[in-house]
Amino acid sequence: MKPTLPPLLIIDDEKNMRLSLEAVMLDEGYRVRSVESAEQALNLLQAEEFFMVITDARLSGMSGYELLDKVRHRRPDLPILIITAYATPKLAVEAIRAGAIDYLAKPFAPEELLHAVARCAERHRLLQDNASLRAYATEPYALDKIIGQSSKMEELRQLIRTVAPTQATVLILGESGTGKELIAGALHRHSQRHDRNYVRINCAAIPETLLESELFGHEKGAFTGALRQKPGRVEEADGGTIFLDEIGDMSRPLQAKLLRFLEDGTFTRVGGNEELRVSVRLIAATNSDIVLSIQHGQFREDLFHRLNVVQFRPPPLRERGDDIVLLAQHFLRQYSVAMNKPVRSLSKAAIAKLSSHHWPGNVRELRNVIERAVILETTGEIRPESLPDFKIEGRLRKDGAITLPPSQSLDEFLSGHEREAILGALDQNHFSLTKAAEQLKISRHALRYRMQRLNINTDQAYDEEPASSSV
């Protein structure tokens, strides 16, 4: 059944349990080795290849947790599942944090175990298939928090590995919830600055007037309320990394100061004269359209170029293919353990529903959807009923998924909307072609052409010459 798959290793000091686990696995076509102690397991692991380990938590001699700890260091890519009779949510969370891939409480249904094993088998196959994934599996932990095996996510992880050790300023652009913060964290953790401070500032969350003093500090008496001197966060980040989230919301005067700071690391505290200098690496992120902000004069173009030394663009979730399911399973594992609910898998129908959604809120939305589903679910697998009605939510959100009515072609659908938008603009502008065109951000000529094409009656519309001659 699974010819290329190495065996799995079972460790249990209770003979009956060991034999029944073996039997279940052999029935499914897995190859199995089993031993009764963690010590024996460690010896075997040195000599042979396994695709996963299933161990009882309590063993005579070294415990399953100690084994987990030892194996994690030697073979970080080897999945370990822990079985225990003494399940508490706290222990479960600890096991997962310590690196167990899954955690089963006795008694459990064989299917629960088989699901977990099948996932590990699948993972092993994927790792075998992909040399770059193999390389990634042996890396330190931060990057493997970024879930996703789509080629775009692979490229992204590769770029993190390449850029992290450099001093380059990084700009991360992406929709809300695509993982910008995760990328920033991974960049710091994989940099040479990883043992120094990582300071994170959300520029949108701090009032404009306070952001400058937050970033660069202030002297005593610099402004009302500045009762004592306060060092800036850039000083706290000296030697490390500063992450400026939502940089698009920074005021222009502060942008100028930041630009100067980026040139040579110098700055003055608010109300101070002394020039200070630090060594800080800057990572900035925004989910707003920065090019538009530059065009509108809200964001300095020179600062943009200075930040944009390396650019990351985490793709929207809807463009990541099977990663949706992978991430859903990841969050499912997390929440079922955290809530200690035996919801182990996603039904086929639930997978189909998740895969067809547009995900305007990206990974964060998916995480929330799975959390909610784990709370609501009363069976062992997530059914579509426990997922939100995405159609309704899509219609509520203007950027939600658009579903074509079955009777229409794409052209008919688009023409319908175009017609509505044009009629709406004409109506709001009392049928002035110039003003309607302005509102629609097209030329008068283009508007006329489109109206003719859509058979919109032009009788009522009037076409006065605009004040400026360029149209």
Ligand X SMILES: Nc1ncnc2c1ncn2[C@@H]1O[C@H](COP(=O)(O)OP(=O)(O)OP(=O)(O)O)[C@@H](O)[C@H]1O
Q: Does 240 participate in binding ligand X (rule CB under 6 A)?
A: no
Q: Does 139 participate in binding Mg ion (rule CB under 5 A)?
A: no
Q: Which of 363, 370, 422, 451 binds ligand X (CB under 6 A)?
A: 363
At residue 165's C-alpha, the angle toward residues 162 and 171, to 5°, is 70
What gap in Å lies between CA 165 and CA 154, rounded to an integer? 18
State the binding partner of 178 from Mg ion, ligand X, none, CB within 5 to 8 A by kind.
Answer: ligand X
Tokens representing 160 are 């993190």
Q: Which of 68, 78, 149, 179 binds ligand X (CB under 6 A)?
A: 179
State the binding partner of 8 from Mg ion, ligand X, none, CB within 5 to 8 A by kind.
Answer: none
Residue 99, Cβ neighbours under 10 Å: how many? 16
What gap in Å lies between CA 414 and CA 439, rounded to an integer? 19
Work out how close the CB of 215 gets to ligand X at its nearest, in angstroms, rounded to a whole number.
19
Work out how close the CB of 415 gets to ligand X at its nearest, in angstroms, rounded to a whole number.
34
Q: Does 174 participate in binding ligand X (rule CB under 6 A)?
A: yes
Q: Does 14 participate in binding Mg ion (rule CB under 5 A)?
A: no
Q: Does 393 participate in binding Mg ion (rule CB under 5 A)?
A: no
Which three-class secondary structure state does DSSP give residue 55?
strand
Nearer to ligand X, 178 or 268 (CB): 178
Work out how close the CB of 332 gets to ligand X at its nearest, in angstroms, rounded to a whole number.
12
Work out how close the CB of 302 gets to ligand X at its nearest, in angstroms, rounded to a whole number.
24
What gap in Å lies between CA 51 and CA 11, rounded to an integer? 14
Query: What is the phi/psi pair of residue 312, to 5°?
Result: -110, 135
Contact 30, 117 (CB under 8 A): yes
* Strand 170-173 relative to strand 52-56, pairing: unpaired
Q: Does 147 participate in binding ligand X (rule CB under 6 A)?
A: yes
Q: Which stretch binds Mg ion (CB under 5 A): 135-143, 173-181, 205-213, 351-359?
A: 173-181
State the binding partner of 236 from Mg ion, ligand X, none, CB within 5 to 8 A by kind.
Answer: none
What gap in Å lies between CA 214 and CA 377, rounded to an integer? 45
Q: Does 58 participate in binding ligand X (rule CB under 6 A)?
A: no
Work out how close the CB of 203 gets to Mg ion at its nearest, in angstroms, rounded to a whole number.
11
Q: Does 367 participate in binding ligand X (rule CB under 6 A)?
A: yes
Tokens representing 19 are 């034999």
Amino acid at 310: V
Q: Does 200 participate in binding Mg ion (rule CB under 5 A)?
A: no
Work out how close the CB of 334 gets to ligand X at its nearest, in angstroms, rounded to a whole number.
9
Question: To 10 degrees, what angle do helices 64-74 and 38-47 make?
Answer: 20
Chain position whose Cβ is nearest to ligand X: 179
Work out how close the CB of 279 gets to Mg ion at its nearest, in angstroms, rounded to a whole number.
25
- 246 sits in the region (left: phi over 0; alpha: psi -120 to 50; else beta) called left
> What count of Cα atoms within 13 Å lies in the side-chain half-sphere of residue 249?
16
Query: What is the phi/psi pair of residue 87, to 5°?
Result: -85, 130
Q: Does 329 participate in binding ligand X (rule CB under 6 A)?
A: no
Work out how close the CB of 152 gets to ligand X at its nearest, in angstroms, rounded to a whole number.
11
Placement of tokens 């426990």 in the chain: 386
Q: Which stretch binds Mg ion (CB under 5 A): 175-183, 320-328, 397-405, 453-461?
A: 175-183
State the binding partner of 93 from Mg ion, ligand X, none, CB within 5 to 8 A by kind.
Answer: none
Q: Does 28 participate in binding Mg ion (rule CB under 5 A)?
A: no
- CA Rg, the chain, in Å? 29
Q: Does 182 participate in binding ligand X (rule CB under 6 A)?
A: yes
How far are the Cα atoms of 432, 443, 445 from residue 470, in angstroms, in the given order?
17, 9, 11
Q: Does 214 participate in binding Mg ion (rule CB under 5 A)?
A: no
Contact 191, 165 (CB under 8 A): yes
Nearer to Mg ion, 13 or 181 (CB): 181
Nearer to ligand X, 130 or 439 (CB): 130
What gap in Å lies between CA 204 and CA 201, rounded to an integer? 9
* DSSP state string for 178-222: SSHHHHHHHHHHTSTTTTS-EEEEETTTS-HHHHHHHHHEE-TTS
Q: Which of 181, 385, 393, 418 binds Mg ion (CB under 5 A)?
A: 181
State the binding partner of 32 from ligand X, Mg ion, none, CB within 5 to 8 A by kind.
Answer: none
What gap in Å lies between CA 400 and CA 386, rounded to an integer? 20
Q: Does 364 participate in binding ligand X (rule CB under 6 A)?
A: yes
* Count of chain residues binding ligand X (CB under 6 A): 16
Contact 275, 268 (CB under 8 A): yes
Q: Does 201 participate in binding ligand X (rule CB under 6 A)?
A: no
State the binding partner of 182 from ligand X, Mg ion, none, CB within 5 to 8 A by kind.
Answer: ligand X
Nearer to ligand X, 18 or 358 (CB): 358
By CB under 6 A, the residues from 262 to 321 that bind ligand X are 287
Q: Does 144 participate in binding Mg ion (rule CB under 5 A)?
A: no
> What count of Cα atoms within 13 Å lies in the side-chain half-sphere of residue 150?
16
Interaction site with ligand X (CB under 6 A):
146-148, 174, 176-182, 287, 327, 363-364, 367
Residues that bind Mg ion (CB under 5 A): 181
